[in-house]
Amino acid sequence: MLHDPNRIYIFDTTLRDGEQVPGCQLTTSEKIEIAKELEILGVDVIEAGFPISSPGDFQSVVELSKAVKDPIICALTRANTKDIDAAVESLKHAKRPRIHTGIGASDMHIKYKFNSTREDILERGVAAVKYAKKFVEDIEFYAEDAGRADVVFLAQMIEAVIAAGATVVNIPDTNGYCLPDQYGSKIRFLKENVKNIDQAIISVHCHNDLGLATANSIAGIQNGARQVECTINGIGERAGNTSLEEVAMILKTHQLGYYTNINSKKFYELSGMVSRMMRMPVQPNKAIVGKNAFAHSSGIHQDGVLKFRENYEIINPEDVGIDQSEIILTARSGRHALKHHLERLGYVIEKINLDEVYERFLVLADSKKEIKDDDLLLLMGDGTERN
C-alpha cells in the first residue's frame, strides 16, 4: 500500500500498555468511553487489549470493536497460536482489525526469557505472523527489547517477518535503554538494510525509564519510522510510555514536515479524563497537560509574557484545549502581574498608588504560597474604585 511519506500514524496504547499499570485498571465501559474520545482525537490505531490475558480484557476488545469505527482496532498476542486465536475471536466485530504479535529480539530475552536461540526465535516470529495472516490482513510484528538487540539479527528478523506478511514492524525500546542517536541509528539501519522494508511501516514504541521515550520516538521518526506508539499522559509500565500529546505537539511546533491526524485541542480534556478514570494524577510540571504547563510565576517571566505571549510560551494554550495561560501571584511576582490582575478585577489603575499597593501585596505574599482574587479584594479594601 502506498503511504504519504510525511504522514505519521498515531497508535494509542493507553488501553493496553497504559492499563497494565497497577491501580489503573478500567472497566469495559470506561474503556469504551476513552476509546470514543480517542476516536474523536483522531488516533489511527487503538490497541484495545491483550485478549488472552483475562476474560475481561477479551470482552473489552470485543466491545471496543463494536463501539469504535474509524480507527484500526488492535489486539496484542505473544507468538503462539492460542494467543492469536483469542485475538482473532475478540476482533470479529472490528471494521479494521489488526493483530499485534511478536517475540523477544535481544540476546538477553532470547537466552534468559525464552531459553532459546536466535534461529528458533526467528522461526517462531515468522510462524506467528503467517498464522495470524490467515485470519487478518493487517499484522503488526513487535521485536521485543529491540533497543538492546543486535542490529544485524534484528534486520534479519524484520526482513523475515515482512516476507511472512507483516504490514507494520514495531521496534520497541522495551526497557527505555537507548539514547536518541542510538535509537535513531537503529531505525536508519533497518531502513537502509532490510531489503523489503518499504512493504511495511516502521513503528516506534519507547519506554521512559531514562526519561527519553519522547526524544527517542522523535529520533525514530527522523530516521524513517512512520508510526508512533504512545499513551495519553505518557502512562505505562514503570516510568511509562511515550506521551501522545508530547509527540503531537513536537511535530506541530517544530514543523519538521510531518503531520498527524490529531486534533490537539482535545488534549487537556482527555488528559483529565484518563487521569481521573485511571486514578493516576498528572504531575504538575508534565509537558503540555500538566497544571503548570502554562502557568507563569516569576516576575521576569510574567512581565515578559504579558508584553508578548511568545516571549515565554512556545505553544498557544488554546491549541491544547486550555483557555489561557495563568499568571500566578506569589512573592516572586512583579508590579506588571499585580496590575494585570487588578485590572482584570475591574480596578482603575490610574486611581491607585500601585507602588504602595505593591508594598502591601509583597508583605501578604510572603505569608502565603499564592495570592488569589479574594486576597486581592481584601488587600484593596471596599473603598477603591472599580469599573
> Least distance to ligand KIV from the beta carbon of 226, Å?
17
Residue 231 interacts, among Zn ion, ligand KIV, none and using kind-specific CB cut-offs from 5 to 8 Å, with none
Complex with ligand KIV: residue 31 or 205, whichever CB lies closer: 205
Residue 144 interacts, among Zn ion, ligand KIV, none and using kind-specific CB cut-offs from 5 to 8 Å, with ligand KIV
> Least distance to ligand KIV from the beta carbon of 341, Å?
46
Handedness of CA 12, 13, 19, 21 (dihedral sign): negative
Complex with Zn ion: residue 11 or 361, whichever CB lies closer: 11
Residue 124 interacts, among Zn ion, ligand KIV, none and using kind-specific CB cut-offs from 5 to 8 Å, with none
| Residue ranges of the binding site | 17, 205, 207, 241
The site for Zn ion, by CB under 5 A, has a size of: 1
Strand partners, 227: 9, 203
| Residue ranges of the binding site for Mn(2+) | 17, 205, 207, 241
Q: Does 57 engage in binding with Zn ion (CB under 5 A)?
A: no
Q: Does 17 engage in binding with Zn ion (CB under 5 A)?
A: yes
Stretch that binds Zn ion, among 17-25, 107-115, 242-250, 264-272 (CB under 5 A): 17-25
Complex with ligand KIV: residue 175 or 302, whichever CB lies closer: 175
Site for ligand KIV, rule CB under 6 A: 17, 142, 144, 170, 172, 174, 205, 207
Residue 142 interacts, among ligand KIV, Zn ion, none and using kind-specific CB cut-offs from 5 to 8 Å, with ligand KIV
**Is 169:140 a contact under the CB 8 Å cutoff?**
yes
> Least distance to ligand KIV from the beta carbon of 387, Å?
57
Residue 246 interacts, among ligand KIV, Zn ion, none and using kind-specific CB cut-offs from 5 to 8 Å, with none
Complex with ligand KIV: residue 83 or 303, whichever CB lies closer: 83
Cα–Cα distance list, 381 to 241, 334, 348, 357 (Å): 51, 21, 14, 11
> Least distance to Zn ion from the beta carbon of 11, Å?
11
Q: For binding to Zn ion (CB under 5 A), which residues are involved?
A: 17
